Amino acid sequence: MVGRVYFSAIFPVLVLFSVLTGFPLQGERRSGNAVFCTACSRRISGRYLILQGKPYCSRKCMESALPKCSVCGKPSEKTWVAQDDPRKVFCERCRDLPKCDYCGNVGRRRSDGTVICDSCEREAVSDPSQAQAIFRELRSELRSVFDIGTNHRIRFSIVTPSELARIKKSPLDPRQKGLFQHEKQMRTEQTYNKRTGRTISRKTSVVGEKFSIFVLGNLPPPEFRHAVIHELTHDWMSEYCPQIKDPAVREGTCEFVAWCFLRKTGGRDPAMQAICRRLENNQDPVYGGGFRKMRKIAGSSSPDQSIARLKSFLPGAR
């Protein structure tokens, strides 16, 4: 998700004196008293423009060095930079257009409040059978790569935001993409004294368990992968680390495992790298703070080494 943007401006300066003055300028290309354009390398005579300490013979040459808007592609003297991805810059005209929550390009707002662009929408995981296939593949891959997984019979479904809120029985956090549920069916047996009616003993046992993972539909594949891996890690923790109750440790562990998985399997995919940067820069105290806490504990050398250190820290993990 593209976060807040902050203002960053570059103003060209018109030099109102002749190069014949010989006044030295930082970064300018000089040969004796001659000054050469940084862009076209032509010798400059008379007035010229300076951008970030470098001389340009014309506005056209100067604009070739200006940052280009990620939306319209035009060079801009004033730019706004996406906080979550410094590579995304916007000109004054495009900065207020709705940006896709997933890639930062211009998109449209959907009925659920999210913003998505045409490209992400075309690739979105919306078919239940396709989602099931990806889920099974990722579950197998997570176990193969990091030996993280269980033998639980997990019921997997893609849902709408309103359905996810209903399942949670609480308003949906717009940042939440999925949910793991572990439900236990309990049976209590009591022994009574027939004469007094008082309870002699009480025994409670688990007679059944249900494991479910719900992930929002219509997510682009990289976002879908992140959500599935996060929830599968919750399933793993429910089996081996049920005693951990701290939300920051639980959510931070799931985000850290997803971060390591995307780094290892995503290669140089820009979308995967963007998600990793978002996890690193997340300012939420539970998800972002928890991630940084687990990253500090496990380190960030290689994904395999980081996961091994993480398992040695978590009680019961294997």
Is 120 part of any domain? no
**Based on the domain organization, do 134 and 214 belong to the same domain?**
yes
Is 132 part of any domain? yes
CB 234 within 8 A of CB 179: no
| pLDDT tens figures, 35-86 | 899 889 888 888 888 887 888 898 889 888 888 888 888 887 777 776 556 6
**Based on the domain organization, do 34 and 144 belong to the same domain?**
no
| pLDDT tens figures, 104-156 | 778 888 877 788 888 888 999 999 999 999 999 999 999 999 999 999 999 99
Q: Between residues 295 and 194, which one has the greater pLDDT?
A: 295
Is 18 part of any domain? yes
- The helix/strand/coil state of 98 is coil
Please give the pLDDT value at position 146. 97
* Residue in 249, 238, 248, 124 with CA at minimum distance from that of residue 177: 124
Is 308 part of any domain? yes
Task: List the strands of the sheet with 199-216, edge to edge.
Answer: 154-159, 199-216, 178-192
Tally of domains within the chain: 2
**Based on the domain organization, do 16 and 72 belong to the same domain?**
yes
**Based on the domain organization, do 198 and 247 belong to the same domain?**
yes
| pLDDT tens figures, 223-274 | 999 999 999 999 999 999 999 999 999 999 999 999 999 999 988 888 898 8
**Based on the domain organization, do 84 and 211 belong to the same domain?**
no
| pLDDT tens figures, 266-317 | 888 888 988 999 999 999 999 999 999 999 999 878 999 999 999 999 987 7
Is 69 part of any domain? yes
Q: Which structural domain, as residue segments, surrounds residue 203? A: 128-313
- The enclosing H or E element of 210 equals strand 199-216
**Based on the domain organization, do 45 and 175 belong to the same domain?**
no
Is 106 part of any domain? no
**Based on the domain organization, do 88 and 185 belong to the same domain?**
no
Confidence class for position 13, pLDDT limits 50, 70, 90: very low
Please give the pLDDT value at position 157. 97
Please give the pLDDT value at position 10. 43
Is 112 part of any domain? no
Is 104 part of any domain? no
**Based on the domain organization, do 81 and 171 belong to the same domain?**
no
Q: Tell me the CA end-to-end span of the chain in Å, nearest whole number.
A: 33
**Based on the domain organization, do 202 and 72 belong to the same domain?**
no
**Based on the domain organization, do 87 and 157 belong to the same domain?**
no
**Based on the domain organization, do 34 and 159 belong to the same domain?**
no
Exposed e or buried b per residue across 110-130, where buried means at least 16 C-beta atoms within 10 angstroms of its C-beta: eeeebbbbeebbeebbeeeee
**Based on the domain organization, do 191 and 239 belong to the same domain?**
yes
Alpha helices, H only, the chain? 59-63, 118-123, 128-146, 161-168, 221-240, 247-266, 270-281, 287-298, 303-313
